[in-house]
C-alpha cells in the first residue's frame, strides 16, 4: 500500500491541499479562503481527501505552509510547518528539476526564490509591505476596469497603443486608470499597461536576488498570460512551464517536505 | 528569573516611583552618546526614552512627518500623551535628525523644566575629542546650575566605577549565550538592555546580581539556529521574542539597545570628563559617525567570531536612512565573508508586520538548512 503525505497551503486569498503518494501527486484541491485559516485548512483538506477517497488517518505525515501554517499545526492538522518560500521553491523544482529560480506571486505577496539542484533554498527576496506587485494589485485593477481577473491577461493582447502608468502604487494606479477611463481610453490599452507595470515591479525583486536559469512562475498570477509574457520580455528568456495548476505548487512543496520528514522516498 | 519582560513593559516602573518618593530628579535621554555617569554623579536618575512599540502616533504626526522614523514618532507620541511626565528634564543629542526632531518638538509642545543639548561630534580625532570634553563640561555645568547641585571629580570617579561594575555583570549575562547552550533568550536580553536605561545604577546592579544568580540553573533553550541581530534603534522586545519563536536563538546583536552598550575601557589617566568623553566617542558604533565604517564592521566581525551565529538578520526601520544604507554595505561585506545575511525593512512596533517578518526569518532558517 502506498504511503501518503499531505501538504496544506493556507494563503491570504486561496488555500490548497495536495496528497502525494511516494511517486506522484495523488490529488489536489483549491478553495477561496474563509475568514478563519483553520476552517480553510479543514475544508481544503476534506476536499482533497474526498477527491482521493481517503480518510484523514490515511496521511502518514502532513506539513502546512502559508499564513495559517502555525495555527494549522497547533490544531493537529499538520505535524510540521514550513515557510511558503521554501514550499514554492521545493514544489517548483520537483516539477521541473532544471529550475533554479522561482517567481511566486500570490494574493498579497511576491517572492523570488533561488533553489539548488535538490530544491533547497539558496536565497530569496520578498516584497515589502505593499500591494504593488501582488495579485491584489491585479484584482483592484480588474475591478476598476470592470473585467474579470481571468480576462485581464488575454485583454492585453488586444491592445493597440498600450498606455503608461506613472506610478507603482496600487492606490495611485487605480486613480490613474479611472482617469484614463474617463478620457475614453481603450480598456485593452489600459490592461496592457497594468500587466506591464506588474511585471516591472516583480523584475525589481528578480534583480535583487539575481535570477539563474531555468526560471518558472508559481502562484495565482502565473495564470495571467500577459504578465508572463512581459516578464519573459524583461528577462529575455522563456519561463518554463509545468503540468499542474500554478496555485498548488506551495501545497505540493509542503507535501514533498512531509515526505522527507515522514521518511518517504 | 524575575519577569524581565514585564518589568521592561512599564514606563513609570517601580524604580521611577521610588525615585519620586526620594525626590530624585529624573532626566530623559535617548542616545548612547549621552554619558549617564554625569547624571549618576549628580544624584540624578537618567532614564532612557523608549517607544514601547506604540503604533498609534496621531499626536506625534502633527509635529513630525510620516516620513520620520517610527521609533522617534512613537517616543514623541508617548511624551505628548504625558507618559513621560515624570521627567524633570531632557537631554538631547544630534544622534540623528529624526531624533532631534523628536526632542525639539517635544520641548516645544510639552516642555520639561530642564532642557540641554549635547552636540556630539561626527568624527573621532583630537579636535573632536576636545570639543566633546567641552560639551560634557557644559552638560555638567548646566545640571549643576539648574538643579543647584555640585558634581565633583570624586562623584564622577565613583559613578564611573559603578558603571564599570555594571558593564562587567551585564557582559557576563550577555556573553552567556556564546557557548553551545543558551539559557537567556534574545527577548530577555533586550528587556535587560532597556532596563539598563530605566533603573538607577545601584538598582540595576542589584537586578543583575539576581539574574546572574538565577540563569545558570535554567534548562538550555531549544533552538534550530543561532542568530545575530543588527540595525536601527529598537526596543521591540516582543518582536525579538516572536522571531525567536520560529526557532532562532538570538546570541548577539549590534542594536543600540543592545551590544553597542558595551564600550572599551577608558584611558586610566586624565580628568574624569576627558576619560568619559574618550570612552563614549571612540566606542560609538553608530552609522551617524563619519568615516568610521571600518570600526563598526570590526565590532560586528568580533561579535560574529565570538558568538558564532549561523546567520545575521539586519533590520532597519522605514525611513531610517542611516541604517538603511549601512545595512546594504554590511550585507554585501558579510556575504563576501560567507556569512548568510537577511535584511528586513520594517515599520517600528507594527504588530501586523510580525507575520510577514516571521515568514522571512523562518525561510532564512530553512535556507541555513536548520
Of B353, B355, B360, the CB nearest to A67: B355
**Do the bridges between strand B248-253 and strand B114-118 make them parallel or antiparallel, or are there none, so unpaired?**
unpaired
Which neighbouring-strand residues pair with A24?
Answer: none
- Do residue B347 and residue A83 have CB atoms under 8 angstroms apart? no
The whole-angstrom separation of Cα B36 and Cα B91 is 11
Å between B363 CA and nearest CA of chain A:
5
Q: How far is B358 from chain A (nearest CA, A)?
A: 9
Question: A129 falls in which pLDDT band (50, 70, 90)?
Answer: low
The packing angle between helices B354-367 and A84-95, to 10°, is 50
> pLDDT per residue over A35-51, tens digit each?
999 999 999 999 999 99
pLDDT confidence bin for A115, thresholds 50/70/90: very high
The answer to whether residue B311 is domain-embedded is: no
For an interface test with A, the pick among B363, B368, B370 (most A C-beta atoms closer than 10 Å) comes out as B363
The percentage of residues in chain A with a pLDDT greater than 70, rounded to a whole number, is 98
Interchain contact, A83 vs B362, CB within 8 Å: yes
How many structural domains comprise chain B?
Answer: 1
Q: Write the DSSP symbol of residue A240.
A: B
Give this prediction's pTM.
Answer: 0.90
Q: Decide if B40 is inside a domain.
A: yes
Q: What is the distance between the alpha carbons of residues B114 and B105, in angstroms, rounded to a whole number? A: 15
Residue B279 domain-assigned?
no
Q: What is the reported pLDDT for A265?
A: 57
Helix (H, G, I), strand (E, B) or coil at B304: helix
Residue A130 has pLDDT above 90, yes or no: no
| B367:A67 CB<8 A | no
Q: Do the chains contact at A121 and B363, CB–CB below 8 Å?
A: yes
Q: Which pLDDT score, from 0 to 100, does residue B370 have? A: 78
Q: Residue B168 in 3-state DSSP?
A: helix
Residue A1, pLDDT score: 63
B49 inside domain: yes
Q: How far is CA A212 from the centre of its chain?
A: 19
> Which element (helix H / strand E) includes B342?
strand B341-346
Question: Measured between CA atoms, how close is B346 to chain A, in angstroms?
Answer: 8
Domain span at residue B105 reads: 4-152
pLDDT confidence of residue A167: 74
Pick A85 or A264 by higher pLDDT. Answer: A85
Q: Is residue A138 predicted with pLDDT exceeding 80?
A: yes
Q: Are A13 and A32 in contact (CB under 8 A)?
A: yes
Domain CATH for B113: 3.40.50.11890
Q: What is the pLDDT of residues A179-221, one digit of tens each?
A: 899 999 999 999 999 999 999 989 989 998 888 999 999 999 9
- Asked if B239 and B354 count as a contact pair (C-beta separation under 8 A), the reply is yes
Residue A134 to residue A178: CA distance in whole angstroms? 20
Q: Is B229 helix (H, G, I), strand (E, B) or coil?
A: strand
φ, ψ of residue A229 to 5 degrees: the values are -60, -45
For B187-228, the pLDDT digits (tens) are 999 999 999 999 999 999 999 999 999 999 999 999 999 999
Strands A215-218 and A101-105: parallel
Is B369 an interface residue toward A (CB < 8 Å)? Answer: yes
Q: Is residue B165 part of a domain?
A: no
Please, what is the average pLDDT of chain A?
Answer: 92
Whether residue B228 is contained in a domain is answered as: no
Copy the grid coordinates of residue B52: 514601547
Q: Check if B347 contacts A (Cβ < 8 Å).
A: yes
Angstrom distances, CA of residue A50 to CA of A7, A42, A74, B39: 15, 12, 23, 71
Question: pLDDT (tens digit, 0 to 9) for every residue of chain B, 370 residues total?
Answer: 568 999 999 999 999 999 999 999 999 999 999 999 999 999 999 999 999 999 899 999 999 988 899 999 999 999 999 999 999 999 999 999 999 999 999 999 999 999 999 999 999 999 999 999 999 999 999 999 999 999 999 999 999 999 999 999 999 999 999 999 999 999 999 999 999 999 999 999 999 999 999 999 999 999 999 999 999 888 999 999 999 999 999 999 999 999 999 887 766 789 999 999 999 999 999 999 999 999 999 999 999 999 999 999 999 999 999 999 999 999 999 999 999 999 999 989 877 788 889 999 999 999 998 7
Distance in angstroms (rounded) separating the CA atoms of residues A197 and A226 = 11
Chain A neighbors of B363, CB-CB under 8 A: 83, 85-86, 121, 124
Domains of chain A listed by start with CATH number: 1-96+245-265 (3.30.420.40), 97-241 (3.30.420.40)
B353 and chain A in contact, CB less than 8 A = yes
DSSP string of A128-179, one letter each residue: -S-STTSHHHHHHHHHHHTS-HHHHHHHHTT-SS--------HHHHHHHHHH
Which of B224, B347, B366, B370 would best serve as a mutation to test chain A binding (most A beta carbons within 10 A)?
B366
Higher pLDDT among residues A13 and B143, named by residue: B143
**B234 assigned to some structural domain:** no
B61 at the A interface (CB within 8 A)?
no
Q: Among B356, B367, B369, select the one facing A123 at the smallest CB separation.
A: B367
B360 in contact with A, Cβ within 8 Å: yes
pLDDT at B159: 97
> Residue B365 belongs to what H/E stretch?
helix B354-367
And the C-alpha cell for B367?
535556507
Distances, alpha carbon B232 to alpha carbons A130, A174, A222, B257, B318, in Å: 21, 34, 36, 9, 9
**Is the distance from CB of B267 to CB of B275 less than 8 angstroms?**
yes
Interchain contact B355–A (C-beta under 8 A):
yes
B56 located within any domain: yes
The reported pLDDT for the residue numbered A108 is: 83
Least CA distance to B362: which residue of chain A?
Answer: A83
Q: Alpha-carbon distance B183 to B38, whole Å?
A: 34
pLDDT attached to residue A12: 84
Which of B65, B37, B70, B38 has its CA nearest to residue B52?
Answer: B70
Amino acid at each position: 500500500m502506498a504511503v501518503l503525505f499531505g501538504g496544506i497551503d493556507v494563503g491570504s486569498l486561496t488555500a490548497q491541499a495536495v496528497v502525494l503518494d511516494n511517486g506522484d501527486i495523488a490529488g489536489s484541491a483549491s478553495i477561496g479562503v474563509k475568514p478563519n485559516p483553520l476552517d480553510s485548512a479543514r475544508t481544503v483538506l476534506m476536499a482533497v481527501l474526498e477527491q482521493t477517497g481517503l480518510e484523514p488517518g490515511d496521511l502518514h505525515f502532513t506539513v502546512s505552509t502559508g499564513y495559517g501554517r502555525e495555527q494549522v499545526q497547533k490544531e493537529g492538522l499538520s505535524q510540521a510547518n514550513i515557510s511558503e518560500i521554501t514550499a514554492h521553491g521545493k514544489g517548483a523544482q520537483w516539477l521541473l528539476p532544471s529550475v533554479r529560480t522561482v517567481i511566486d506571486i500570490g494574493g498579497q505577496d511576491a517572492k523570488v526564490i533561488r533553489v539548488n539542484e535538490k530544491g533547497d533554498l539558496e536565497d530569496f527576496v520578498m516584497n515589502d509591505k505593499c500591494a504593488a506587485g501582488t495579485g491584489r494589485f491585479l484584482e483592484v485593477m480588474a475591478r476598476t476596469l470592470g473585467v474579470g481577473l481571468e480576462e485581464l491577461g488575454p485583454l492585453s493582447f488586444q491592445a493597440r497603443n498600450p498606455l503608461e502608468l506613472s506610478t507603482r502604487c496600487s492606490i495611485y494606479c487605480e486613480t490613474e486608470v479611472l482617469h484614463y477611463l474617463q478620457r475614453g481610453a481603450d480598456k485593452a490599452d489600459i490592461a496592457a499597461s497594468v500587466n506591464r507595470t506588474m511585471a516591472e515591479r516583480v523584475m525589481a525583486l528578480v534583480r535583487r536576488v539575481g535570477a539563474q536559469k531555468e526560471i518558472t512562475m508559481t502562484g495565482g498570477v502565473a495564470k495571467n498570460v500577459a504578465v508572463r509574457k512581459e516578464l519573459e520580455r524583461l528577462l529575455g528568456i522563456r519561463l518554463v512551464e509545468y503540468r499542474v495548476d500554478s496555485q498548488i505548487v506551495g501545497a505540493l512543496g509542503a507535501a514533498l517536505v512531509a515526505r522527507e520528514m515522514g521518511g518517504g522516498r | 528569573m524575575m519577569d524581565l519582560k514585564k518589568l521592561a513593559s512599564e514606563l513609570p516602573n517601580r524604580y521611577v516611583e521610588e525615585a519620586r518618593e526620594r525626590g530624585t530628579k529624573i532626566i530623559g535621554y535617548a542616545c548612547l552618546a549621552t554619558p549617564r555617569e554625569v547624571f549618576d554623579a549628580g544624584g540624578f536618575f537618567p532614564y532612557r526614552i523608549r517607544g514601547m512599540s506604540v503604533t498609534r502616533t496621531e499626536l506625534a504626526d502633527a509635529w513630525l512627518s510620516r516620513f520620520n522614523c517610527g521609533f522617534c514618532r512613537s517616543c514623541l507620541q508617548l511624551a505628548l500623551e504625558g507618559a513621560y511626565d515624570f521627567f524633570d528634564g531632557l537631554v538631547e543629542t544630534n544622534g540623528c535628525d529624526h531624533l532631534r526632531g523628536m526632542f525639539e518638538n517635544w520641548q516645544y509642545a510639552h516642555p520639561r523644566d530642564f532642557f540641554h543639548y549635547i552636540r556630539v561630534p561626527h568624527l573621532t580625532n583630537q579636535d573632536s575629542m576636545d570639543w566633546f570634553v567641552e560639551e560634557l563640561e557644559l552638560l555638567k555645568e548646566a545640571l549643576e546650575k539648574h538643579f543647584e547641585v555640585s558634581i565633583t571629580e570624586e562623584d564622577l570617579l565613583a559613578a564611573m566605577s559603578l558603571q564599570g561594575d555594571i558593564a562587567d555583570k551585564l557582559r557576563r549575562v550577555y556573553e552567556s549565550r556564546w557557548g553551545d547552550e543558551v539559557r537567556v533568550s534574545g527577548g530577555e536580553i533586550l528587556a535587560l538592555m532597556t532596563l539598563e536605561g530605566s533603573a538607577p545604577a545601584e538598582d540595576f546592579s542589584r537586578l543583575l546580581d539576581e539574574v546572574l544568580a538565577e540563569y545558570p540553573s535554567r534548562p538550555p533553550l531549544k533552538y534550530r539556529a543561532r542568530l545575530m541581530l543588527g540595525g536601527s534603534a529598537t526596543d521591540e522586545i516582543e518582536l525579538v521574542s516572536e522571531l525567536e519563536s520560529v526557532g532562532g536563538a538570538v546570541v548577539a546583536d549590534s542594536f543600540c539597545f543592545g551590544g553597542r552598550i558595551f564600550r572599551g575601557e577608558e584611558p586610566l589617566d586624565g580628568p574624569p570628563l576627558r576619560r568619559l568623553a574618550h570612552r563614549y566617542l571612540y566606542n560609538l558604533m553608530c552609522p551617524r559617525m563619519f568615516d568610521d565604517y571600518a570600526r563598526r564592521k570590526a565590532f560586528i566581525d568580533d561579535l560574529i567570531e565570538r558568538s558564532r551565529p549561523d546567520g545575521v538578520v539586519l533590520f532597519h526601520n522605514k525611513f531610517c536612512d542611516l541604517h538603511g544604507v549601512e545595512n546594504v554595505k554590511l550585507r554585501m561585506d558579510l556575504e563576501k565573508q560567507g556569512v548568510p545575511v537577511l535584511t528586513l525593512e520594517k515599520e517600528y512596533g507594527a504588530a501586523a508586520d510580525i507575520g510577514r517578518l516571521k515568514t522571512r526569518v523562518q525561510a532564512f532558517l530553512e535556507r541555513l538548512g536548520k
